Structure 1
Amino acid sequence: MATRHAPVGPAGGNAGTGDAAVQRTWRTGARLSSAASAIEQFLDQAGFDRAPWMVVGFALGIAAWFVLATPWQWGMAIGAGLLVALAGASLGSSGFGQNHLRMAAVSAGLLFAAGVAVIWLRSETVGAEPIERPMVVPLQGYVLDRADQPALDRIRLTLAIRDAEAGKAQKVRVNVPLEHANDAIAEGAIIRLRARLMPPAPPMLPGAYNFARAAWFQGLSATGGMIGDIEVVRPAEHRQGWLAKVQRALSLHVRNKLSGSPGTIAAAFASGDRGGISEADDDAMRDAGLTHLLSISGLHVSAVIAAAYLLSLKLLALWPALALRVRLPVVAAGGGALAGIGYTLLTGSEVPTVRSCIAALLVLGALALGREALSLRMVAVAAFCVLLLWPESLIGPSFQMSFAAVLAIVALHNSGPVRTFLEPHDEGWAGWLVRRGTMLLVTGLVIEIALMPIVLFHFHRAGVYGALANVVAIPLVTFVSMPLVALALLLDTVGIGAPIWWLVGKSLELLLAIAHFTAAQPGAVKLMPQMSGLTFALFIGSGLWLALWRGRRRLLSLVPAAIATIMLLMTPVPDVLISGDGRHVGITMDGERLVSLRESRSNYASENLLELAGVEGDPIMIENWPGALCSPEFCILGIERGGRKWTVLMARNKIRVEERALAAACERSDIVIADRWLPSSCRPRWLKADRDLLEHTGGLAIVLEKHEIHTVASAQGEHGWWRGED
């Protein structure tokens, strides 16, 4: 019987082994080609529009820079984006991909890398090193900005000063009592004063507002308050700060014409000056979901531009010679653009206002060119322009809420069922009114749902009845209050605006009545503990998927939305909250009440503790809680969690106690909290949160049952605004 030999390859190796390797390579390539073809087919059938997703890629790069901790990680992120772009470019030549997939990979990779680079460059360019410690110093500085805040009985000055030790200029912000304010203290003046300065404060607790980060991108090195008197070394020249002076004069004029709360709201509409709004009115508007009406943003800018556009169009149409020779929409768009830019400048040119103005100008351009005014591409272009100029705005609630609302409106009104519902029907005015009213209510509900995760993530509270309140409040402000304010100001030029100001006052009294009534209802505000970054990312991802795809593929967004909702509902309430300085401690008892170590002189600390614990009602001082044992120096409180009792020992002041007694008390405690350094002999069973630890970690949020400790430092990395100890 003949012997069968395995074939031998050219190099003398086993050809069978080589064939197997070739087959495996072929099968891998076939699978990749099949996957690429499937993705390509999905993108083609879905009507894939690359432009909005390119902006999403750019935004993801910016977000990655904030999430990642160190410069080498930022560099790796840029490299990863470039590798994705390179891999996408190679798809076409390898035959694994076609146009959609290849271009999506290339554009997403490049824009992701660009997003990381842009925010990194922005941080290095505008970031200002904070002062090292609190100090009382004499200052002589140039007034860059003045903000009047009569509701808080002060003015707020932003000064450029000279740091003699560092040999460079610094920007600081100082609060000056209103009694010391005069017209000579304005933009362009040089003043001299004595002030107590503080470094910009980091978050008090994990999830709290990060003022240090905001100050970093504003270029602020310190903030503080004036001590003593103020001296004007050189008054501002007439040509300096003229726009800010016009803004203040306009605000004062409105408040003189219309007194009380309506006057402060009208001043905010006319000039962007919110400094006169009382805390009670501000809280009511917030809890009713109407705060967006006070901040000059999309609604106000759009109303001004739309009014100017329509008025210009109608007036120009009365001139036949012009109407026959030029395209009136183009000329009217120019008039609307000038009105929008002027209103933006007049109201302070804040980032939200500028962002809204850019978006509105793009809409005007679309109208002038005869294109669809509201489209996802228009929203994408506006978002990209804003992120390119102010990439740090991505992580702020203002940017997120504005574009989430616009995306929700565009996606809703571009959907097939809504288009069918809004098509012209053979009906009377009553039917038309019912359909439009129904659509207004549905739009409000959709916007409220879209904004809810953002509001809860940033503010830990949301107005439950905001959609219903906005159904009345938005038309009231857009079609009644703002036009009346504009008409009253116009008639004031000839001294006959008083009757119109009376109508303005009545409309704004109605607005405030809606806000206070809504906020006063049981369950009007829902408090939630800080949701995780993953939960928030799932909500945002599901919202983008729902808005940017078409047809039934949108429904896939329900999967991450459902997962995020479950995660949100399962978010544990922190058992112990400790501020970064160790002075403020909040302990949740029975999940409904918050026990506080000490009473704060301001509401800031208690509001942070309540919001991040997701607890309503006023805090209870620990000495008033049954079962708490307090001496002048320390308090001891037992907490039942996870089937065991935790003993918490808290220092009430900095009075020193005998070390042996302190060591014995620490030994009997699971957690020891103090706003000072404790000796090494103090050894609790689980955690010693004294000044030494808190300088490294910042504020703490502790979940006892899971033995979890969340820190402020864990979310800061090596970004310039964080000055925690290594």
Structure 2
Amino acid sequence: MAREGEIQHYAGVRASQGTDGKARLLAAVFAQKERLFLFSPVLLGVGISLYFSLRTEPPSWLCLSAPLLLAALLFGLWPRRLQNGVFYMLALMAISGFLLSAGVAVAKARTMLVSAPILEKPMGPVDVVGRIAALETLEAGEGVRLLLRDLAVEDIAPADTPHTIRIKVRRMPLEGLRPGDRISVLAELNPPSAPVAPGAYDFQRMAYFRQMGAFGFSYREPVVIGRAAAGASLWLESLRQHIIGRIARVIPLREAGIANALMTGERTAIAAADMDDMRNSGLVHIISISGLHISMIAGVIFFTLRLAMACFPTFAVYHPIKKYAAIGALLFTVLYTGLVGATVPTVRSVIMTGLVLLAVMLDRIPVSLRVVAIAALIILATVPEAVVGPSFQMSFAAVMGLVAFYEATRDQWVAVYRRCGWFRRGLIYLAGICVTTVIASIATAPFSIYHFQQFANYGLLANLLAVPLTSFVIMPAMLLGYLLMPLGWEAPALWAMGQGISGMIGISHFVANLPHAVSMPYAWPLSALLCFSAGWIFLCLLQGWGRLLSVVPVIAGIITVLIASPPDLLISASGKLMAVKDPEGKVYMSTVKAEKFVAESWMRVLGRGGEIPEILLSHPAAACDEWACRLTLKDKKISFAFHSAAHGEECRWADIVLADDPVRVRPCMAKTTIDRFDVWKNGVHAIWLNEETIQSVGERRGHRPWTISNSR
């Protein structure tokens, strides 16, 4: 340490004299020395992201040998890192390279570990026999979703049978079904769907890492051919269904869907209108189990246990009751996490809460960015695919910003709080909600816009009204309901919880229906998201003047957003749906009846979410007949050909021909032709007219273990 101090002092002196550029760099690094560990999950995440950005699968030997070689290099450099600044910088570079390569290796290992058969083509109706691993009740009248494992599927060999499939069952009644039952059902099965646009959410990748090889629906009610077997996971799923049944007896149907989400993690029964209001008002985080819920539960259990033990003075004097309470709170939060499901935000929250409670047991400072970094490292090492999903990105962006802010201002908050009475402390609580909401909104806004093309403008108002209701009514009543349920006395607590949920639904509906409550910009390019992410990371993790580095990527991100634009033309993977966006922003589609989910997704991508597209025939500049539609846009002649008989004439007239049939005219004089074969091979195509750029889902993703296309 003395030698390290000498290097730091030397670098600082030379830098202050302005005589040594290398010394200035070394001094800048030493100024962030205490923060370097915080960048370890960042580098690991970058390595994982690099793996998922590849268009071809890298060889296993390369992925696994690179971190070993860099670890050997680091082993040789580490003892010499204090000899001079050069070795110190080389050691840092070796650590960085190791973490980057380790990220690639972890992602590759995970991909190999979860590999399972995936259905490549639709099939059905077929007989499916499987065991119910999970049962999800859908919105009223929509039936249930069954997660089936241990499968036998008609016309599929055992080696090619998916590990898990999900089937929607609409036929009622289904009261006889229980987790663990073995059932037979006649079903239509489909492979996981590809992204609806280049760069859009990759549902196939998500399904691959969850080992879900097919999705479908049943033609008739399932038949139980074997009753539930014993098992911890099945017992837990049965417990969830039991709790859902208890909730249904007390809480009205509308509020019961949200109560199910909070008490069991099952969100499928929430009414679609209520879910939309929660998103548009900025309250959807309340029904997504995360830090808010875990910290509340841990806090209530901690203080309740500590108060109960303090009621016995002799015991309290001779025992560390604070540490005992921390142990009890930790056990309860782990049980709660198991009950509601181990999603990324939930796991992050329980890891951080566990580390905080461990710090209480060890008499350490409980909350710091190191706790956030450790939680991120654990999740990235075990579930590396989470890094490319919105849950991980938004959860850690928000908590990193919050911890960084309160870590920097903790003393000021504590000093003000101690000098205030009860009324002013209440005001401080409300101020804390406002500050927390603003920071979390800023942190998550780029991710919300990139992934969902949506931002709640009045999130501050909604959270200011709803968070106190959640903190003082809903969550305490939920916790009391858990404790009383084994005795059968849970009804009063669940009733109170239902009243609180009803109030929260009212708040979300009020805020969501205010004028301009939600903004729906077009889908930002990935480069913009990366710039804003880098800026937020630098701002939160660096200290002192180093935080000014965050300005550079943020400015780059703003410039990227300003110069980027959504595509002008889109054609679906079936070739049956085509869309055009005119310079005024209106979207016209070839049909409003086919592929409605794709059409709705395209409207969000094009920045017109929530609107109904116009029919292409109604475009004022379109000349249409039964065979084709012609349109001139941005000095480009575009033809939407609906019949093969029109291909010859359209090829002679147009610069761009979009056809839902194979174009067999040779040669086709159009500069760009996208026909049935092109979309069959590469999926959805997007065209930017000014840049004369074409992107397709297939070319953007490449060939990876989770990609399914007709050219595979």
* TM-score, normalisation: structure 1: 0.88
The reply on whether 1:700 has 2:685 as its aligned counterpart is yes
For 1:228 and 1:196, locate their aligned partners in 2 and report how far apart those are by CA, in whole Å: 11
Using the TM superposition, name which of 573-582 and 336-345 deviates more: 573-582
Answer yes or no: is 1:68 the counterpart of 2:19. no
Q: Does 1:39 align with 2:33?
A: no
Asked if structure 2 preserves the Cα contact closer than 8 Å seen for 1:205 and 1:701, the reply is yes
Structure 1, unpaired ranges of 5+: 1-32
Rounded to whole Å, the distance in 2 between the matches of 1:591 and 1:478 is 46
Separation in structure 1 between the aligned mates of residue 650 and residue 137 of structure 2, nearest angstrom: 51
Q: Distance in 2 between matches of 1:99 and 1:144?
A: 54
Cα deviation 1:296-329 (Å, max 9, x = unaligned): 2222122111211111111112222322332222
Residue type at the aligned position of 1:646: K
The letter for the 1-side match of 2:705 is G
Residue 82 of structure 1: how far off its partner (Å): 6.5
8 Å contact 1:162–1:170 — kept in the other structure? no
C-alpha distance 691-682 of structure 1, shift in aligned 2 (>3 A) = farther
C-alpha distance in structure 2 between counterparts of 1:657 and 1:168, whole Å: 38
**Structure 1 match to 2:146:** 157
Question: Aligned runs of 1:50-449 on 2, under 5 Å?
Answer: 50-72=36-58, 90=77, 92=80, 97=85, 101-136=89-124, 137-151=126-140, 153-160=142-149, 161-162=151-152, 164-165=156-157, 167=159, 169-180=161-172, 182-237=174-229, 241-416=234-409, 419-424=411-416, 426-449=419-442
Q: 2 CA distance for matches of 1:408 and 1:505?
A: 32
Aligned twin of 1:665: 650
Distance 1:232 1:503, change over 3 A: closer
Q: Look up the match of 2:697.
A: 712
2:621 and 2:632 in contact (8 A); partners too:
no
Deviation readout 1:86-121 (Å, 9 max, x if unpaired): 776549479653675344323222222111111101
Structure 1 window deviating more from structure 2 (447-456 vs 142-151): it is 142-151
**1: CA distance, partners of 2:656 / 2:577:** 15
Equivalenced residues, count: 684
Look up the match of 1:28.
Answer: none
Secondary structure in 1 aligned to 2:109? Answer: helix
The answer to whether the 8 Å contact 1:484/1:503 transfers is yes
Q: Which residue of 2 aligns with 1:3?
A: none
The answer on 1:646 being equivalent to 2:632 is no
1:421-476, CA deviations, whole angstroms, 9 ceiling, x for partnerless residues? Answer: 55236444444444443333122111101100111111121212223322322232
Measure how far apart 1:169 and its partner are.
4.4
Q: Which amino acid aligns with 1:156?
A: R
AA aligned to 1:51 is: F
For the structure 1 residues 562 and 82, does the alpha-carbon distance in structure 2 shift closer, same or farther, using more than 3 Å as the test? farther
The equivalent residue for 1:620 is 614
Structure 2: segments with no counterpart, 5+ residues: 1-18
Question: Post-superposition shift, 1:493?
Answer: 5.8
Q: In structure 1, what is the equivalent of residue 13 of structure 2? A: none
- Tell me if the contact between 2:192 and 2:203 (Cα under 8 Å) persists in the aligned partners: yes
Which residue matches 1:22?
A: none
- 1:435-514 counterparts in 2 under 5 A? 435-488=428-481, 490=483, 498-514=491-507
Q: What is the alpha-carbon distance in structure 2 between the residues aligned to residue 562 and residue 419 of structure 1? A: 32
C-alpha contact 2:570 2:579 (8 A) present in aligned 1: yes
SS at 2:220's partner residue? Answer: strand
* Offset, 1:637: 3.9
- In the aligned structure 2, how far is the partner of 1:513 from the partner of 1:248? 27
Q: Deviations over 1:517-551 (max 9, x none)?
A: 22222222222222222211111111111111112
**Aligned-pair CA distance for 1:165:** 2.9
Q: Report the Cα offset of residue 182 of structure 1.
A: 2.9
What does the per-residue CA deviation read over 1:339-393, in whole Å, with 9 as the maximum and x for residues that have no partner?
A: 1111112223344323322221111111111111111111111111111111111
RMSD: 2.7
Question: Residues 333 and 707 from structure 1, CA distance in 2 versus in 1: closer, same or farther, beyond 3 angstroms?
Answer: same
Aligned equivalents of 2:73, 2:348: Cα separation in 1 = 35
Matched position secondary structure for 1:516:
helix
* 2: CA distance, partners of 1:286 / 1:345: 26
Q: 1:184 to 1:322 in 2, by over 3 A?
A: same
Give a deviation string over 1:180-224, Cα, whole Å, max 9, x none. 453443332222122111111110111322110101101122111
Change (3 A) 1:290 1:684: farther
Deviation at 1:593, TM superposition (A): 1.8
Whether the aligned pair in 2 keeps the contact of 1:198 and 1:222 (CA below 8 Å) is yes
How far apart in 2 are the matches of 1:419 and 1:706?
53
Q: Percent identity?
A: 29
What amino acid sits opposite 1:679 in the alignment?
R
Question: Given that residues 128 and 185 in structure 2 are in contact (C-alpha distance below 8 angstroms), is that contact kept between their aligned partners in structure 1?
Answer: yes
- State the distance in 2 between where 1:55 and 1:480 align: 37
Measure the CA separation in 2 of the matches of 1:186 and 1:503.
29
- Residues 381-411 of structure 1, C-alpha deviations (whole Å, 9 max, x = no match): 1111111111111111111111111101111
Matched AA of 1:278 = A
Deviates more, 1:175-184 or 1:472-481: 175-184
> What SS class does the counterpart of residue 34 from structure 2 fall into?
coil
Work out the CA distance in 1 between the residues paired with 2:459 and 2:666: 54
**Amino acid paired to 2:127:** P
Contact 1:542/1:561 (<8 A) preserved: yes
Query: Aligned-pair distance for 1:558?
Result: 1.7
Question: What is the DSSP-based 3-state SS (H/G/I as helix, E as strand, rest coil) of the residue aligned with 2:451?
Answer: helix
CA distance in 2, matches of 1:79, 1:34: 38
